[in-house]
Amino acid sequence: MGIAALREQLRKGEISARELTDHHLARIAAVDGTVHAFLQVTAERARADADRIDSARSAGEVLPPLAGIPLAIKDNLCTRGITTTCSSKMLEHFVPPYESTVTERLWRSGAVLLGKTNLDEFAMGSSTETSAFGPSRNPWNPERVPGGSSGGSAAAVAAGECLASLGSDTGGSIRQPAAFCGVVGLKPTYGRVSRWGLVAFASSLDQVGPFAGSVADAAELLQVIAGEDPRDATCLKVPVPNYTAALEQPVAGLRVGLIKECFEQDGLDPEVKASVLAAAQQLEALGCELVEVSCPRFNAGIATYYVIAPSEASANLARYDGVKYGYRAEGAGTLAEMTARSRAEGFGDEVKRRILIGTYALSAGYVDAFYKKAQQVRTLIRHDFDAAFAGVDVLLTPTSPGTAFRFGAHAEDPLAMYLADLLTIPANLAGLPAINVPCGFDQQGLPIGLQLIGNVLEEGRILQVAHHYEQAAQVMDRRPVAALVP
């Protein structure tokens, strides 16, 4: 049942916020021992939040749109008074003294916090295997990864542990795990949603967005978290449209561009390709016109990203030195020795790998050859998208080249892991909104994801097309294994 239907039940008194919260806390207790989506369950706060909502309703107060709706939050979004670890030993005991803008807006809208979800350390990874506190598991098959870096947020929604959740997306960290876990995941336009209170990975790429069981529920969350924020200089000062109203706008006559470079990938799983092309045909049956388009530099996105993102990570993570906050190595001699040991012990291997890559790319003698060149290619990628949108309304690709892989499959080959984000990275580099919608299953019963990319600030358009496809295809009539645990 979606947010709108539950809101109506809550309004009529057919269910209380406390009952809804207790249902989800019971689900977490039943399945999270297998899924490990949560790093921290805030049961006491959740019940207190729900009780306040029920009291306000009994008193006849007009309640905000998410009143009583239980949500989970990726553990790189600061929550005042609640540990925010980024799944890193470096921040294992960090309790923020302030609230992120997006979570502040959720609580103001009446949402109930169930807890903080697992992720790849500092959001660097595509499987949650780099989490210092152990990986999350895919509810469809616990031997498979849930994707990353927002794997815990995606798995929690797929397993029925929460109605919806928030994640962050730097190179695909919402859309790829959404595809692996068979849920909806939306990355908004860069600047559409405030980053204030999001622990930074790559500041020119990071964006906060929702996971949900349906496109309509994703629109509900985006409606609440979007909008300007004076605390974030990169947040756009533009009005927020009515995303839920956009869902029912007709799609007949819209032009959908299939990016040919995405369907010609050597590593694209044939089952994924067939499922996504079948989804495109479903849109054609709804009245959309399919158009083949070319983005010649699309495949250059991954090399470009792995210069820019590590460079920004190197700068952002320089603050973790064991002095003001975070992990501090004991018994070190000088300040320099303490800093070096704190960083060596506090960061995991993947984080250290990316810091080293970024530091090298920014070093004297290499910054022009690597970082500056990558920024130039980033501009060309954006120009390719601009040219494509001159003739189409939305772009369509697979979300990931394959379905969820087994744990350890890429442990000895970081480059193979990086390729999991091959199809999602270009939208981040161009700052464009993009959404994953489930579009089928492979022969092993693992979900396949369809990606729709919109032009700048056209979240309403991709939500509209995704919603019509979702309603027509009715793909998600199955439930994952973990969600069937009593």
Which of 87, 109, 136, 149 is the catalytic position?
149
Cβ(155)–Cβ(138) under 8 Å? yes
For residue 238, the tally of other CB atoms under 10 A from its CB is: 14
Tell me the backbone φ, ψ of residue 79, rounded to 5 degrees.
Answer: -125, 120
Which of 88, 131, 173, 311 is the catalytic position?
173
* CA separation for the pair 31, 157 (Å, rounded): 12
Cβ(39)–Cβ(77) under 8 Å? no
Catalytic annotation on 58? Answer: no
Catalytic annotation on 109? Answer: no
* CA separation for the pair 50, 443 (Å, rounded): 41
Catalytic annotation on 373? Answer: no
For residue 188, the tally of other CB atoms under 10 A from its CB is: 26
Burial 128-162 (b: 16+ CB within 10 A, else e): bbbbbbebbbbbbbbebbbbbbbbbbbbbbbbbbb
Sheet containing 394-398: which strands, arranged edge to edge? Answer: 38-41, 112-117, 70-74, 164-169, 207-212, 184-187, 434-441, 447-453, 394-398, 255-259, 289-293
Which of 74, 127, 275, 342 is the catalytic position?
74
Q: Give catalytic residues, as residue numbers.
A: 74, 149, 173
